[in-house]
Structure 1
Amino acid sequence: MVEIVGQQSGADIVERLGKIKSRDAIEDVFRKYMDGEHYSRIASISNGDVRQKIANAIALCRPCSVFINRGTEADRQFIRELALKKSEEASLAMKNHTIHYDLAQEQGRIVDRTYYIVDEWEDVSSLAQRMNRETALKEVKTNLAGIMEDMTMIIGFYMRGPVGAPVSNPAIEITSSAYVAHSAEILYRNAYEDFDDEVKRAGHFFTNIHSEGLNRPEDLPDARVLMDRHYRTTYSFKCTYAGNTLLLKKGNHRFAVDKAVYEGNGKELAEHMFITGINGPSGRVTWCAGAAPSGCGKTTTAMAGSHFVGDDLAQMWIAKDGTIRSVNPECGIFGIVEDVNWEGDPMLMENLRKPGAEVIWSNVLVDDNGVPHWTGNGEELPESGINFQGRWHKGMKEESGKPVPVSHPNARCTIASSFLGNYSEEAENPKGVLTRIFTYSGRDSDTMPPLWVAKNSDQGVVLGACIVSAATATEVGATGVKRAPWANAPFIPGSLGDYMEAQFSFFGNPDIALEHKPVMAGLNYFLTHKARGGDSDKLLGEKKDVKVWLAWLERFAHGDVSYIETPIGYIPVYDDLKTLFSEIIYKQYPEALYEKQFSLYVDNIVKRLELQIDAYSKESGIPDKLFDVLKSQMDELLQLKDVKGAVVSPFDM
């Protein structure tokens, strides 16, 4: 529980509303709502705090029955069948594939209705919303009290990370949604047998309480995602999109961030990052973690590596041997499918188009034969079908005249990582993977080159702090270009200053061995022809080029390539890239393309630096290191401009 010295948080809302405190009262609730089978199952969970939390959730929501999910195949099958029976999912033509549709008005995270539950004295991130504890109590009481009266409550016990990993967090998922429970079984490790031991090891657990309500559009204004960081409990109601309901995911990621910042002592981080292993010469494997806002290529980059661990979240720590170690809290992917195709994502497509894997689709088009289709799949589209907004046909338009897309831009597939062709068994190693490379990227169409490396860890931290990205469909109502610090900003509960200080402390920690110092780099896949003198919005490169950028970073980490020093960091020399393009993806890489991609457009970069300085100047508690790095880079860029002009070719540096 996060506390500040001299301050005390208010009551635990679910305990106050459930009013279950004694051991006898807990047993009474369990006997009342569980049959003999499930009462015997809950008996295997002996931790008193866990049992009390569950009893209070039951007393609050008042389900007609309670199902304790042990993660067995029989239990998973019950959940699958319940999802179909409730019409939360429907079967598709391919075995073990189902479709789930969210409400048309809820196709992403409801950031405008997501709040931290706070006490009056408490500070939260300036990029987040706060709700007074008493107000939140009234919201929870009004909306969750008795909400499951005609439903089955499903309770699952999970680990966010491999069992036994020092940064893995135990979590309880309590929901009336079979779709949410089904998704949890694919994306997380059911740890029913180990839960007591893991709670004892970690000294805490997360709790998630969700009910979908009646799933009516008119209820969406009252939908809420509420997070109580003091009691590490989330509440969610009247919503259907997994980012708002599967609270094990981003809800618990927020708690993991809090824990790392305020209890990690500069040796732990919780990041919005993929984890992948990159093959190098002579059988060498170098592990990379990378941050990008949702919808900006994390899954594509993770799949570009040869050894897949994760595509979205990472927990990392500094081990006793001086290495940085990373684990994936998840064991599956909840991936955006727009533009997923055979050319760019062959291993994922293998599972989406051929039998074998269990897949939950969401918000794609399903044709009359029960086959899913989506925008950018590179295949011939059907004439008609059902998609996220109802019946669809080719040429269909909204009232405004705008075409209705085949699938929603945030349409997803949910699949276990173990089905992927490049899946690595290291994903379940509680010791984590030794991580040398950290990348930061966003949708930047006109400013930064495809690849640059920070000169030191302080510059690397600032690089992460200064991600700028075009808005994506993962957030309802988001538009334009905006700052996206570390691609983690929506999930930082405390102040940005505290989070940034934790980043400086971690990556600059003297306990990291010299030979394992992190390589911190920027990636940008979204540079356009128009930004470099052309007249097209087409990308200046291809999706598969990311394999080359990662290969160059792998070799840079081991001193195997040359580089050019610039004010923003180190960039590749042409000859190394030309060789890697030929060896890695069998592609010609013209010198003219290299010059377009890696020339510095000084005025554009300076404007971005000014944007960051101005924005962070309005924040309290931002470390001076950030401003020192940004101002130093700006001075160097302006000096370079005086000598070389506003556009500086890499051949002139």
Structure 2
Amino acid sequence: MLELNKGVDILTDIGGVKGEAEVDRVLREAMDDTEFAKIEKIKNPLARLKIANTIALGQPDKVIVNTGNDQDKQRIRELCLTQGEERALAIPGHTLHYDLAEEQARIVDRTFYIANPEDTVSSLANRIERTEAYDYVKKHMVGMMKGMILVIGFYSRGPVGAVAAIPAIEATTSLYVCHSAELLYRNCFDQFDAEAERVGHFFTNVHCQGPNRAEDLPNARVFMDRSWQTTYSTFCTYAGNTLLLKKGNHRFAVDRATYYRKGRELSEHMFITGLEGPGGRVTYFAGAAPSGCGKTTTAMVGEKFISDDLAQIWIAEDGTIRSINPETGIFGIIEDVNWTDDPMILDLLRHEKAEVIFSNILVKDDKPYWVGSGEETPKEGFNFQGEWFEGKKDANGKAVPLSHANARFTLRAEVLANCGDKLHDPSGVITKVFTYNGRDADTMPPVRVARDADEGVVIGASIVSKATATEVGATGVKRQPWANQPFIPGALGDNMVAQFEFFNSKDIAEEHRPIMAGLNYFLTHEARGGEGNGLLGEKRDVKVWLGWLDRLIHNEVASIPSPVGLLPEYEDLKNMFAELLDKEYPKELYDKQFALYADKILARVDLQYQAFKKEENIPARLFEIYDEQRKQVEELKAKYGAIISIEQLKEFNG
């Protein structure tokens, strides 16, 4: 069990500010009359204490309170440009930010959970003892903000008043981070005190990029103090390391759901989108996928977009499962965003229709370019490695691409043509389908459905994915339980228990029990007897896979039982490809995509089985399901060989 407020609170102890009078003095001395008048509207004593100690710790030259009003937001935009953190592009409202060349993804090797001696931390995460973290903060963060502007913002991670929404403070010396927060989160300055009282707590985030030099990167750290729900980020600029409202606070929300809302709430690395089905009905999906594995593309398939990255989920009093987006914007990977796959997004990136921050792409004549746009691109310009020309090599002799593989765009969700009208609804959306996918090139079919909640939890626990450019230095194929692995602070066994309890909860009304499915649109020709690493199908085919799931939950299509889940019938998919995508779906392609490759499935089961056996307190039900899958696959292999066709599967089922 995670115990809150245990151990020394590093921020307040090193900051040294104690008592209401001392808090008032620090705030008064740090701010001019205008800013002090703003902070006086925040009455929560703990929030004021945290802010005062942040100021005492960092010792900034100036403190700004961002209320989220038009005047404050415009001031932040202008400061981003004058401070040099962003530059204006040709289209009004579009700006460009560059991170350090060596730090353009999450620094997973320097990201740590601050732990008390008795705390259990995920085996897939980095741990640092409280005493060591204390020493680091005292050595590096005292006076770190001298010569800088500190911006204090107040945000809600979710629509204000939503059951699973949590307020947070973002204190940063980066105007780019503050600008990003205004696009991605709901500023709740006016409601902060009431929200903090309703929820019973808030998250605190402290960031300082320091001198912003490559030589400081070895000292860069992202700390998450689970006990005091406070994050620290130093010597780094990439938003995934510095916009602590995002993945830093997501980790705290996972803790909250696992230990204090078990069986009632989940905090997931999931998109949320509403898909229109026959008769104009809308079915809402929540889907997990590791960063860089198509979550945004999948979310954009829906006609009622809610989220492309994170979801707060709870069981409502009426027995439905409800989901909200803790964010209100998109921090999306821009590589391969093109007119074919992402026309709505590209329309916003190429026209004066939205406020957009680009990062780590190439610019030429104040126009942004990136890899995979499908457009004609310049042979030279300025990009994330400085002056660039086609054929340029880095220090290791490797070609420098036009844009970084983790280059991003940031914009508000409301500007999307398919933005759902329930984005800001505190009651959330009723969620009927949960999907799980990774970057699986050779094993699982494009879509499969669990036969019950337990199998669904196991599908989520069994995600694997090829490493992507979202993490510095990551390589190879990785296990990604629930696609949330980098953001689960506690023991995986604890999180798994929470998953089983949630989806099996008696509080979910029978008519509202969801279906849980595996998605995979990364199968390659090579993996199915062909040549090359090209995709076996297209990414846009996911509209059919989601459409089939919508029809399945409404009992409008058939399914075929298999060891890995229920599979679709060919005729249903053929008709849906024609209806939804206006394209043919050859039987030969279906046979390749949905054949079961026994040895690969068995190897995958063994990989997961052995890995989870090393963990503590993993529910026995997980291993029972793996055993059942192994037995079924071995029976099929004994009868039909290493490759089992759909026809053979049907024959086996009788």
**TM-score, normalized by length of structure 1?**
0.99
Once the two structures are superposed, the pairs formed by residues 145-224 of structure 1 within 5 Å of their partners are 145-224=142-221
Q: What does residue 393 of structure 1 align with?
A: 389
Once the two structures are superposed, the pairs formed by residues 131-146 of structure 1 within 5 Å of their partners are 131-146=128-143
SS at match of 1:235: strand
Cα distance in 2 for residues equivalent to 1:59 and 1:396: 46
Q: Kindly state the Cα deviation for residue 398 of structure 1 after the two structures are TM-superposed.
A: 2.9
Q: Kindly state the Cα deviation for residue 399 of structure 1 after the two structures are TM-superposed.
A: 4.5
Q: Kindly state the Cα deviation for residue 643 of structure 1 after the two structures are TM-superposed.
A: 1.4
Q: What does residue 3 of structure 1 align with?
A: 3
**Could you give the per-residue CA deviations for residues 354-385 of structure 1, whole angstroms, max 9, x where no partner exists?**
11200000001111x11101110000110111
Cα distance in 2 for residues equivalent to 1:526 and 1:34: 53
Once the two structures are superposed, the pairs formed by residues 607-626 of structure 1 within 5 Å of their partners are 607-626=603-622
SS at match of 2:423: helix
- Which residue of the other structure, out of 71, 74, 91, is the alignment partner of 2:71? 74
Q: What does residue 575 of structure 1 align with?
A: 571
Q: Kindly state the Cα deviation for residue 651 of structure 1 after the two structures are TM-superposed.
A: 2.1
Q: CA RMSD in A?
A: 1.0
**Could you give the per-residue CA deviations for residues 246-288 of structure 1, whole angstroms, max 9, x where no partner exists?**
0000000000000000011301000000000011111100000
Q: Kindly state the Cα deviation for residue 149 of structure 1 after the two structures are TM-superposed.
A: 1.4
**Could you give the per-residue CA deviations for residues 414-456 of structure 1, whole angstroms, max 9, x where no partner exists?**
0000011100120101000000000000011111110100110
Cα distance in 2 for residues equivalent to 1:142 and 1:580: 61
**Could you give the per-residue CA deviations for residues 35-69 of structure 1, whole angstroms, max 9, x where no partner exists?**
11111101111011111111111111111111010
Q: What does residue 320 of structure 2 align with?
A: 323
Counterparts in 2 of 1:399 and 1:226: CA distance versus 1, 3 Å: closer
- Which residue of the other structure, out of 476, 486, 495, is the alignment partner of 1:490? 486
Q: Kindly state the Cα deviation for residue 143 of structure 1 after the two structures are TM-superposed.
A: 1.3
Q: What does residue 347 of structure 1 align with?
A: 344
The letter for the 2-side match of 1:180 is V
Q: Kindly state the Cα deviation for residue 2 of structure 1 after the two structures are TM-superposed.
A: 4.1
Cα distance in 2 for residues equivalent to 1:489 and 1:410: 19
Q: Kindly state the Cα deviation for residue 88 of structure 1 after the two structures are TM-superposed.
A: 0.7
Q: Is 1:51 the counterpart of 2:45 in the alignment? A: no
Once the two structures are superposed, the pairs formed by residues 254-269 of structure 1 within 5 Å of their partners are 254-269=251-266
- Which residue of the other structure, out of 592, 599, 603, is the alignment partner of 1:596? 592
- Which residue of the other structure, out of 625, 628, 634, is the alignment partner of 1:629? 625
Contact 2:2/2:119, CA 8 A, preserved across alignment: no
Q: What does residue 361 of structure 2 align with?
A: 364
- Which residue of the other structure, out of 519, 522, 541, is the alignment partner of 1:523? 519
Cα distance in 1 for residues equivalent to 2:605 and 2:258: 26
Q: Is 1:250 the counterpart of 2:208 in the alignment? A: no
Cα distance in 2 for residues equivalent to 1:525 and 1:355: 33
SS at match of 1:408: coil
Q: What does residue 39 of structure 1 align with?
A: 36
Unaligned runs of 5+ in 1: none
**Could you give the per-residue CA deviations for residues 370-412 of structure 1, whole angstroms, max 9, x where no partner exists?**
1101110000110111111111111222344432111010000
**Could you give the per-residue CA deviations for residues 558-582 of structure 1, whole angstroms, max 9, x where no partner exists?**
1110111111110000000000000
Q: What does residue 18 of structure 1 align with?
A: 15
Q: Kindly state the Cα deviation for residue 205 of structure 1 after the two structures are TM-superposed.
A: 0.2
Q: Kindly state the Cα deviation for residue 85 of structure 1 after the two structures are TM-superposed.
A: 1.1
Q: What does residue 310 of structure 1 align with?
A: 307
Q: Kindly state the Cα deviation for residue 644 of structure 1 after the two structures are TM-superposed.
A: 1.8
The letter for the 1-side match of 2:638 is D
SS at match of 2:256: helix
Cα distance in 2 for residues equivalent to 1:265 and 1:310: 23
Cα distance in 2 for residues equivalent to 1:144 and 1:137: 10
Q: Kindly state the Cα deviation for residue 107 of structure 1 after the two structures are TM-superposed.
A: 1.2
- Which residue of the other structure, out of 467, 472, 477, is the alignment partner of 1:476? 472
- Which residue of the other structure, out of 577, 585, 590, is the alignment partner of 2:581? 585
SS at match of 2:561: strand
Which moved further from structure 2: 398-407 or 260-269? 398-407
The letter for the 2-side match of 1:391 is E
Q: Is 1:102 the counterpart of 2:99 in the alignment? A: yes
Cα distance in 2 for residues equivalent to 1:425 and 1:252: 25
- Which residue of the other structure, out of 413, 435, 440, is the alignment partner of 1:439? 435
Q: Number of aligned residue pairs: give it.
A: 649
Q: Kindly state the Cα deviation for residue 73 of structure 1 after the two structures are TM-superposed.
A: 1.2
Cα distance in 2 for residues equivalent to 1:15 and 1:397: 47
The letter for the 1-side match of 2:541 is D
Contact 2:73/2:182, CA 8 A, preserved across alignment: yes
**Could you give the per-residue CA deviations for residues 128-157 of structure 1, whole angstroms, max 9, x where no partner exists?**
111111111111111111111111110000
Cα distance in 2 for residues equivalent to 1:549 and 1:392: 41
Contact 2:67/2:187, CA 8 A, preserved across alignment: yes
Q: What does residue 418 of structure 1 align with?
A: 414
Once the two structures are superposed, the pairs formed by residues 493-508 of structure 1 within 5 Å of their partners are 493-508=489-504
Cα distance in 1 for residues equivalent to 2:113 and 2:213: 25
The letter for the 2-side match of 1:284 is R
SS at match of 1:300: helix
Cα distance in 2 for residues equivalent to 1:427 and 1:645: 49
- Which residue of the other structure, out of 542, 550, 560, is the alignment partner of 2:538? 542
Q: What does residue 448 of structure 1 align with?
A: 444
SS at match of 2:567: strand
Q: Kindly state the Cα deviation for residue 9 of structure 1 after the two structures are TM-superposed.
A: 2.3
Cα distance in 1 for residues equivalent to 2:430 and 2:36: 43
Q: What does residue 113 of structure 1 align with?
A: 110
SS at match of 1:372: strand
**Could you give the per-residue CA deviations for residues 454-496 of structure 1, whole angstroms, max 9, x where no partner exists?**
1100000010000011000000000001101111011011100
Counterparts in 2 of 1:210 and 1:400: CA distance versus 1, 3 Å: closer
The letter for the 2-side match of 1:176 is T
Cα distance in 1 for residues equivalent to 2:188 and 2:182: 11
- Which residue of the other structure, out of 281, 298, 301, is the alignment partner of 1:301? 298
Cα distance in 1 for residues equivalent to 2:209 and 2:641: 58
The letter for the 1-side match of 2:491 is S
**Could you give the per-residue CA deviations for residues 288-321 of structure 1, whole angstroms, max 9, x where no partner exists?**
0000000000000000111100000000000011
SS at match of 1:329: coil
Cα distance in 2 for residues equivalent to 1:142 and 1:576: 63
**Could you give the per-residue CA deviations for residues 156-181 of structure 1, whole angstroms, max 9, x where no partner exists?**
00000000001000000000000000
The letter for the 1-side match of 2:278 is P
Cα distance in 1 for residues equivalent to 2:247 and 2:52: 24
- Which residue of the other structure, out of 90, 95, 120, is the alignment partner of 2:87? 90
- Which residue of the other structure, out of 223, 234, 239, is the alignment partner of 1:237? 234
Q: What does residue 652 of structure 2 align with?
A: none
Unaligned runs of 5+ in 2: 650-654
Q: Kindly state the Cα deviation for residue 184 of structure 1 after the two structures are TM-superposed.
A: 0.2
Cα distance in 1 for residues equivalent to 2:539 and 2:398: 27
- Which residue of the other structure, out of 267, 271, 280, is the alignment partner of 1:270? 267
Cα distance in 2 for residues equivalent to 1:467 and 1:593: 24
Q: What does residue 335 of structure 2 align with?
A: 338
SS at match of 1:200: helix
Identity %: 58
